[in-house]
Amino acid sequence: MADSVKAAFADLKIPWECVEHAPIEKVEQGLELAAIKGLGCSFAKNLFIKDKKAGLYLLVVTADRKLDMKKLPDLLKAGKEFRFADEAALKEKLGCAKGAASPLGVMNDTGGAVTLVLDAELMSASKIGCHPCVNTQTLAITPAHLTAFVAKFGKEPQVVDFAGAAPAAPAGGSSAAAKPKEAKKPKDAKPAENLKTLGKKEGADSKGIEYTKAGNFPKWYEQVIVRSEMIEFYDISGCYILRPWSFNLWEAITEFFDTRIKKLGVQNCYFPMFVSEAKLNAEKDHVEGFAPEVAWVTKSGDGLLEQPIAIRPTSETIMYPAFAGWIRSHRDLPLLLNQWNSVVRWEFKHPTPFLRTREFLWQEGHTAHSSYEEANEMVMTILEHYQAIYQELLAVPVIKGYKTEKEKFAGGHMTTTVEAYIAATGRAIQGATSHNLGQNFGKMFKIEYEDKAGKKQIPWQTSWGFTTRSIGVMVMVHSDDKGLVLPPRIAPIQVVIVPITMSGSDANKQRTVCADLAAQLKAAGVRVEVDDRDNYNPGWKYNFWEMKGVPLRLELGPKDLEKGQVRMVRRDNNDKQDVPWCLVPQQVALLLVTSQHEMLARATAQRDAALKKVTDWKDFVPTIALGHLALTPFCNDEQATEFEELVKDKSKAEALAAMEEEEDERCATPVAAKTLCIPFEQPPLPEGTKCFISGKPATCWVLWGRSY
């Protein structure tokens, strides 16, 4: 087993620092071994645990960490009652014998059954000591290299602060080496920071947003979507409850897009969520693209099904057998269908609400046409509508383009995309895709029709989808350290009116004025609410509605009552102005339009500032490392896929090396660069321009970046 680990280290160019010793089965034994102390690292204790619903977990913590098992469900946001898993499961899932459990064992977890969780304190150490899946050896590895190793085998670990999970020590089930005194650090080394406090605001209210967007983006994002009442966590990993505040956003997107596609003649329908194994396997390239993410139903009650049934990851193979029966003549075309549903893609990467979830909501359109040109026109029209959702509703700028051959939809002829950019993390994210499927699926499912001349023809097909991921993109682009920031066009409540009552003020008149203003705004089509709850003070209400992202707040205090005015406060930039009651409807309308426009303009300016032209490889990785998007000349020939893989591997290796040189273990885990799209809008490409990676003549400009 150690040889397999060593081979993986060599493949990743990770230094092999390993010592041999007598077998270790308990932490205490490791503490006695001077040989492994010489590695100068913080040693890991590995706890292999299970929960009936949450499944198997490997916790990798500091050697002296004592955990209260009862606190784990809250810390891990999963499960109800964790127990230690047995030795047989350890051997089966991680390939490790008793006493040899190791985070490196995830290389054997080919089915993705084990969730890997790393101790934040351990990840702040200069090096981590762990077994190479045998308890007669211990090796030292940096946190960055550990993360790169597990990523190679499809794992994106959770990093959790276990400091609060004390005091009881586990009775068994652990494997560890000793934790010696801290290795001496260079004088200019930066102190390690606990991830729980990294980016935390001083004196932050525990009910508000405690982390800054710039200081700790993951914690900030989680708190924004939970405390704004968008998301509730669920007991199945990767699945989340959409609360009304976020589902209202999805309904607004649904209405916007549904209205547009119905004008194109598209009709809504619904197909079952289950697909037989035979149908799923009908299109080889298609099923290979989705195979790792397919969830299967194998039991009914206590009995096994004769044949496993897949839950749809997408519906091509479910819908197209029906198309074969419905499309017989040229008069049956075009067939334009759409369905609003959920799909399941059982990903094993670290789940993130909205962005990467095992079940998500979307629309999926499927059409059939008599010509390639007509199908392509549908593809491009839908892409325009996707751009409109992002830019007109969500105030998020996107770049339209073609996916490369490597990144296109499995089994399709051509994929178009809209790509967004998250300035706070320097990452891109795919916003939506529209595919020209060509005639591939028609051939596989024997979809044929007679043309006007009586000849048999295969239709040209399209499919296209837009998901709840868009809501997460909007949150990450616009929200701030106070919480959610919603563009006015999509906000469930656009204006909140807060009366400021004080001792001696005319509360009845304030309520009357607030109700009258609300009625005027409703008559003008504004979504408005009066918050006249008397059990909360005005300051609490301000924070509450700011956290929920309501675009405009109207305050009415005793002095405002005397002057016949209200104070208007914009959520997106905190601008304040006093407005007479008679002008409130007009001014509200103006500010909502202005806010929507300026939010898009700010996001566009941030995105444009991150777009950099790169023509030489030497400038590529430094550009990506700064969180920029790189636009490069590219050959895009029959070897393009190989060169994309080369860029991915080289950019990852150079990023790792750069981190090592900086000796800053707090750096974010490096991620390889990948192609985002071939933008529709192409800058001039001077004759003789070389591809930045192959040196061949370039044929186009391609956009690259680190991507969610």
Q: Tell me the per-residue pLDDT of 648-681, one tens digit each, with 9 for 90 and over.
A: 999 988 887 776 544 333 333 447 899 999 999 9
Of the candidates 352, 371, 562, the one whose C-alpha atom is nearest the C-alpha of residue 462 is 371
Q: Give residue 494's pLDDT.
A: 98
Using CA atoms, how far apart are residues 266 and 434, in angstroms rounded to an integer?
Answer: 15
Using CA atoms, how far apart are residues 269 and 532, in angstroms rounded to an integer?
Answer: 43
Q: Give residue 628's pLDDT.
A: 96
What are residue 566's DSSP bridge partners?
579
The burial class, CB within 10 Å (0-12 / 13-18 / 19+), for 170 is middle
Cβ neighbors of 684 (< 8 A, separation 6 or more) are none
Using CA atoms, how far apart are residues 445 and 436, in angstroms rounded to an integer?
Answer: 17
Using CA atoms, how far apart are residues 378 and 375, in angstroms rounded to an integer?
Answer: 5
Residue boundaries of the structural domains of the chain: 2-176, 240-391+401-478, 495-607, 614-705
Backbone angles phi, psi at 569, to 5 degrees: -125, 120
Using CA atoms, how far apart are residues 102 and 46, in angstroms rounded to an integer?
Answer: 6
3-state secondary structure of 79: coil
Q: Tell me the per-residue pLDDT of 295-321, one tens digit each, with 9 for 90 and over.
A: 999 999 989 998 999 999 999 999 999
Q: What is the mean pLDDT of the chain?
A: 88
On the question of a common fold for 495-607 and 614-705, the answer reads no
Q: DSSP code of 193?
A: -
Using CA atoms, how far apart are residues 666 and 684, in angstroms rounded to an integer?
Answer: 40
Provide, rounded to the nearest whole percent, the portion of the chain with pLDDT above 90: 63
Question: Is the separation of the CB atoms in 123 and 142 below 8 Å?
Answer: no
- Looking from the CA of 143 toward its CB, the CA atoms found within 13 Å total 25
Name the CA dihedral angle for 247, 252, 258, 261, rounded to a multiple of 10 degrees. -130
Question: Is the separation of the CB atoms in 531 and 545 below 8 Å?
Answer: yes
Identify residue 246 by its one-letter amino acid code. Answer: S
Using CA atoms, how far apart are residues 649 and 643, in angstroms rounded to an integer?
Answer: 10
Query: Does residue 169 or residue 321 have the better pLDDT?
Result: 321
Taking residues 139-153, report their average pLDDT: 85
pLDDT(495) > 80: yes
The kind and range of the H/E element at 540 are helix 538-547
Q: Give residue 664's pLDDT.
A: 39
The CA angle 569-573-578, to the nearest 5 degrees, is 25
Question: Is the separation of the CB atoms in 430 and 298 below 8 Å?
Answer: no
Identify residue 366 by its one-letter amino acid code. Answer: H
Q: Give residue 175's pLDDT.
A: 37
Provide, rounded to the nearest whole percent, the portion of the chain with pLDDT above 70: 90
Tell me the whole-structure pTM to 2 decimals. Answer: 0.74
Q: Tell me the per-residue pLDDT of 25-77, one tens digit each, with 9 for 90 and over.
A: 776 566 556 455 556 677 888 999 998 888 999 999 988 788 888 888 888 88
Q: Give residue 447's pLDDT.
A: 97
Taking residues 266-278, report their average pLDDT: 95
Using CA atoms, how far apart are residues 8 and 599, in angstroms rounded to an integer?
Answer: 46
Of the candidates 587, 607, 372, 347, the one whose C-alpha atom is nearest the C-alpha of residue 477 is 607
Q: Give residue 20's pLDDT.
A: 82
pLDDT band at 182 (very low <50, low <70, confident <90, very high): very low
Q: Give residue 62's pLDDT.
A: 85
Taking residues 462-469, report their average pLDDT: 98
Taking residues 466-482, report their average pLDDT: 98
Name the CATH superfamily, with its identifier, for domain 240-391+401-478.
Bira Bifunctional Protein; Domain 2 (3.30.930.10)
pLDDT(290) > 90: no
* Annotation: CATH topology of 495-607: Rossmann fold (3.40.50)
Query: Does residue 41 or residue 92 have the better pLDDT?
Result: 92
Q: How far is CA 565 from CA 88, 556, 562, 582, in A?
A: 73, 8, 8, 8
Q: Tell me the per-residue pLDDT of 625-652, one tens digit each, with 9 for 90 and over.
A: 999 999 999 999 999 999 999 999 999 8
What is the architecture of the domain spanning 614-705?
Answer: 2-Layer Sandwich (3.30)
Question: Is the separation of the CB atoms in 498 and 555 below 8 Å?
Answer: yes
Using CA atoms, how far apart are residues 387 and 399, in angstroms rounded to an integer?
Answer: 8
* Annotation: CATH topology of 2-176: YbaK protein (3.90.960)
The CA angle 310-257-391, to the nearest 5 degrees, is 110
pLDDT band at 186 (very low <50, low <70, confident <90, very high): very low
Query: Does residue 435 or residue 6 have the better pLDDT?
Result: 435
pLDDT(168) > 80: no
Q: Give residue 32's pLDDT.
A: 56
Q: Tell me the per-residue pLDDT of 527-584, one tens digit each, with 9 for 90 and over.
A: 999 999 988 999 999 999 999 999 999 999 999 999 999 999 999 999 999 999 999 9
Q: Give residue 569's pLDDT.
A: 98
Q: Give residue 123's pLDDT.
A: 80
Q: Give residue 188's pLDDT.
A: 41
Taking residues 89-101, report their average pLDDT: 88
